[in-house]
């Protein structure tokens, strides 16, 4: 190999080494750029995490804690079962269930054929006894008739009069009249049925005033006193509200449910309130105090049975342990854990975790 060939070989080696160096530098630079880009991307993503949108409300103390709410049923003032005092076949019933009636109104009738026949027979017997008395009384007065015969005639006359009065009353008893104003509660017989004394045919309800009846748990019954203010609303009447009057509280508890029956008297001059209507009863005791009540649905429970709510602490979700009290309508009383001014999450709390960024809507 001559000197020219050696120089060419050295030049080729240098050129190849330069290419290798350039390629290595490019790889290193690309890797560095990728690493820097990745780090800056992560840093940027972390810094721009969007806050979770939730519903946030501020806690306020209120007097709603003292309001007791129950579901009740409208009941009639009195209920009277009416029936015929004599036996017979019902000819017709002139009223329907739910119909308003007035005192003295004819409600139902029995077949009167048999009663009229008995009255006619009693009338004939009475007329015969009167004729005998009228004919023989002058004879007795003249001393021509023994006293024992006159006593017998007078006895027959009284018996005939009693039989006639009884037959006349039986005919009247075939007609059933309303003893007072009210509404027909239930028909328990129909035309064509045979009835006997003591069997109810109709029930008449007095609804000039009514009662709202409901049950109260034993741990709340002491809070219901005669000076409680009461308000009753009826869904069937478009949530029309009525102011309650006197409160009647039973002293006998249901042995199974441990609840006490309570009734509130209501005026019903317009007769809008009908027995069986469902009503909402709202009682406000006289000794009112303030407290915190939150929606019962936001109360959650941890694995160790601690109750908590989510609070907004400067835009960060924080779990706050609370102690709950009695249920108050759709809410629950908070005894400890929250104070007035705290911001609690009342909507969207299912999608947040501890220390998540949150924002209110």
The band of 62, judged by pLDDT with boundaries at 50, 70 and 90, is: confident
The helix/strand/coil state of 10 is helix
The average pLDDT across 220-233 equals 88
Nearest Cα to 186, choosing from 266, 104, 93? 93
Q: What is the dihedral of CA 18, 22, 24, 28, to 10 degrees?
A: 150
H or E segment at 169?
helix 147-172
Overall size of the chain counted in residues: 361
**Structure confidence by residue, pLDDT tens digits, 142-176:** 988 899 999 999 999 999 999 999 999 999 999 99
> Which are the contacts of 338, defined by CB distance < 8 A and separation ≥ 6?
59, 292, 294, 309, 311, 320, 322, 344
Q: Which two tokens stand for residue 59?
A: 């806690």
Other residues' Cβ atoms within 10 Å of the Cβ of residue 45: 9
Question: What pLDDT score was predicted for residue 198?
Answer: 87
Q: Which of 71-80, 115-124, 285-294, 328-337 has the lowest mean pLDDT?
A: 285-294
**Structure confidence by residue, pLDDT tens digits, 8-57:** 655 666 666 656 544 544 444 444 444 444 444 444 444 457 899 999 99
18 vs 274, residue with greater confidence:
274
The helix/strand/coil state of 349 is helix
pTM assigned to the model = 0.55
d(CA 317, CA 355): 5
Beginning with the edge strand found earlier in the chain, give each strand of the sheet holding 88-93 in spatial order: 175-177, 106-110, 88-93, 194-195
H or E segment at 157?
helix 147-172
């Amino acid at each position: 190999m001559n000197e020219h060939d050696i120089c060419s070989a050295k030049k080729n080696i240098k050129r190849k080494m330069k290419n290798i160096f350039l390629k290595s530098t490019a790889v290193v630079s690309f890797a560095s750029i990728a690493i820097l880009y990745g780090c800056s991307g992560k840093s940027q993503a972390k810094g721009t995490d969007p806050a979770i949108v939730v519903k946030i409300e501020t806690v306020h103390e209120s007097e709603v804690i003292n309001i007791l709410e129950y579901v009740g049923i409208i009941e009639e003032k009195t209920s009277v079962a009416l029936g015929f005092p004599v036996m017979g076949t019902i000819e017709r019933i002139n009223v329907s269930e739910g119909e308003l009636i007035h005192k003295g109104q004819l409600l139902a009738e029995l077949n009167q054929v048999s009663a009229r026949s008995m009255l006619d027979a009693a009338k004939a017997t009475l007329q015969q006894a009167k004729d005998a008395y009228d004919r023989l009384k002058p004879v007795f007065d003249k001393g021509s008739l023994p006293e024992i015969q006159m006593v017998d005639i007078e006895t027959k006359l009284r018996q005939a009069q009693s039989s006639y009065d009884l037959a006349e009353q039986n005919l009247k008893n075939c007609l059933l009249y309303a003893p007072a104003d009210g509404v027909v509660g239930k028909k328990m017989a129909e035309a064509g049925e045979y009835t006997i004394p003591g069997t109810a045919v109709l029930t008449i309800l007095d609804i000039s005033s009514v009662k709202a009846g409901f049950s109260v748990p034993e741990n709340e019954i002491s809070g219901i006193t005669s000076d409680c203010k009461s308000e009753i609303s009826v869904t069937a009447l478009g949530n029309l509200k009525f102011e309650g009057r006197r409160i009647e509280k039973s002293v006998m508890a249901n042995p199974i449910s441990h609840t006490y029956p309570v009734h509130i008297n209501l005026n019903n001059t317009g007769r809008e309130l009908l027995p069986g209507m469902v009503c909402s009863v709202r009682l406000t005791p006289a000794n009112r105090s303030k407290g915190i009540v939150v929606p019962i649905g936001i109360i959650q429970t941890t694995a160790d049975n601690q109750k908590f709510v989510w609070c907004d602490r400067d835009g960060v979700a924080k779990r706050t342990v609370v102690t709950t009290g009695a249920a108050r309508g759709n809410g629950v009383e908070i005894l400890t854990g929250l104070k007035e001014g705290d911001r609690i999450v009342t909507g969207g709390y299912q999608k947040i975790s501890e220390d998540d960024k949150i924002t209110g809507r």
